[in-house]
Structure 1
């Protein structure tokens, strides 16, 4: 009973936090390149997590580090850059809706790789969800012809990464504390993030001294500490006390928060995009019904 209440509480908190992440990414890109944003997001989150839970890594066995590393790249590092590049061309609200395909991808990968059973309702749900996804992309391209909607594929790639990550956590890391998983992830990612940041020309004087960069650093700090650091620990715990598909169901409600932010930031959103979004949510619901 306690876990049932907790999982819904975590789901609500994560919806609010990650729903706000898309607008923070958009604002951060005003002064930062996608490479700088992804690297700084990783580094800021790493510093925060090390300050509050570095000692937790002592509980990680040597045999677990392989999965910790894979989880870090799939669940944090790669998606951070994919979303940053995607939002250079598509609106933050659209990116959040495309991200809601994660439960569908989680289910597909669970069947193909992790031997999860697949029934008729789930097959229908997957088909409906991807029809909605395609409709959303096509309508977005029509409404905003200046945007390159091939970049929407980057969000779908991020969904694949997230789906792989939750299945890995559920299968191989149930015995590791959420804090230890998060800190282990980021100790692995620090050096790659530093290499990317150095190669992105961030340390040039004209970049560091730019007022736009200073403003973006405020946004990225909030994104890293709350949207990556704290949320990472909560999500790891949610996966452990629920199922991979329930945990990724947070993407049902993320678009609601993200779209509200997008509307406040003057992003366009048409009736047909609302309809396509509803089709995606319907597909996710069908795929998870009676599970």
Structure 2
């Protein structure tokens, strides 16, 4: 399968998986606190990845572990808690839309910090997609005026973390198998996650008898295994076979899936939101459209 086709397949799968993650976070928060959710999400995903990919750790060289550690905290640990806190005050769909700022931050950081270039078409495509995202935020704010949008700042900080992480993977971890990066990330995070979970008062709760906690743990298990473990492997591979801008453009298509889940969950979805979502998709297409080759080639 050609890399061009493969990267679009990865993008579609990640859009579906991560677009569903926001509603899973919302459901898990019914019986768990943000600290408990972030810590357990990390630990569940770590257990799953170690089970399927422990042997891949040998592919990581000693001098590469520092980047694995940085990638772990920026790409997984901090965002897991930031999104959990954000969704205590804003809708899951709004959080997914705000996450769409990741590509433009990735583009700027890649150019200014990591010396990764970009084309004018990529910049235009990113800006078009970002415009679509802002339109979705604007409409969402009108439909749901009671949300505390100060908590949107948590999502924006998470977007910066994601942008740094994708540039680190592209620049310093390009030759490491995607599953090795993912497993290495979560090996690093086991102890920090256990510390957070211990101080979150999770073990003082009657989670064996409280149906809300048991239900939340069920949602969390799906979120951790599929939305974190499997998705992390796919995303690492996507970064390696494409550009940082393309790989983070998944955050433009995620809100479309998240909004669909919102409709199924009883949230309002307007025609204007459909148009804004279409603009997002066009931005992704534009930023990744290949230049035409000469007819003689």
1:235 CA drift (Å): 1.1
Structure 1 residue aligned with 2:237:
237
**In 2, distance between residues paired with 1:108 and 1:98?**
17
In the TM superposition, 1:77-92 aligns within 5 A as 77-92=77-92
Aligned: 1:196 with 2:215: no
Q: Would you say the 8 A contact 1:19–1:257 is kept in 2?
A: yes
**Distance verdict in 2 for CA 1:120–1:238, change over 3 Å:** closer
1:108 CA drift (Å): 1.4
Structure 1 residue aligned with 2:155:
155
Structure 2 residue aligned with 1:177:
177
CA RMSD, 1 decimal: 2.3
1:125 CA drift (Å): 4.9
**In 1, distance between residues paired with 2:8 and 2:121?**
24
CA displacement 1:70-119 (0-9 Å, x = unmatched): 11111111111111111112221222222222222211111111223355
Structure 1 residue aligned with 2:12:
12
**Distance verdict in 2 for CA 1:135–1:255, change over 3 Å:** closer
In the TM superposition, 1:71-110 aligns within 5 A as 71-110=71-110
Structure 1 residue aligned with 2:30:
30
Structure 1 residue aligned with 2:294:
none
Structure 1 residue aligned with 2:216:
216
CA displacement 1:136-195 (0-9 Å, x = unmatched): 444433332221012222222222111111111111011211111111100110111111
Gap runs ≥5 in structure 2: 292-297
Aligned: 1:206 with 2:200: no
1:285 CA drift (Å): 5.1
Structure 2 residue aligned with 1:68:
68
**In 1, distance between residues paired with 2:277 and 2:76?**
25
Gap runs ≥5 in structure 1: none
Q: Would you say the 8 A contact 1:125–1:283 is kept in 2?
A: yes
TM-score, scaled to structure 2: 0.88
**Distance verdict in 2 for CA 1:7–1:117, change over 3 Å:** closer
**Distance verdict in 2 for CA 1:111–1:130, change over 3 Å:** same
**Distance verdict in 2 for CA 1:113–1:49, change over 3 Å:** same
**Distance verdict in 2 for CA 1:142–1:16, change over 3 Å:** closer
**In 2, distance between residues paired with 1:49 and 1:148?**
35
**Distance verdict in 2 for CA 1:99–1:278, change over 3 Å:** farther
**In 1, distance between residues paired with 2:134 and 2:2?**
39
1:289 CA drift (Å): 5.0
1:208 CA drift (Å): 5.0
Q: Would you say the 8 A contact 2:22–2:92 is kept in 1?
A: yes
**In 2, distance between residues paired with 1:172 and 1:234?**
18
1:250 CA drift (Å): 2.0
**In 2, distance between residues paired with 1:280 and 1:107?**
17
**Distance verdict in 2 for CA 1:122–1:15, change over 3 Å:** closer
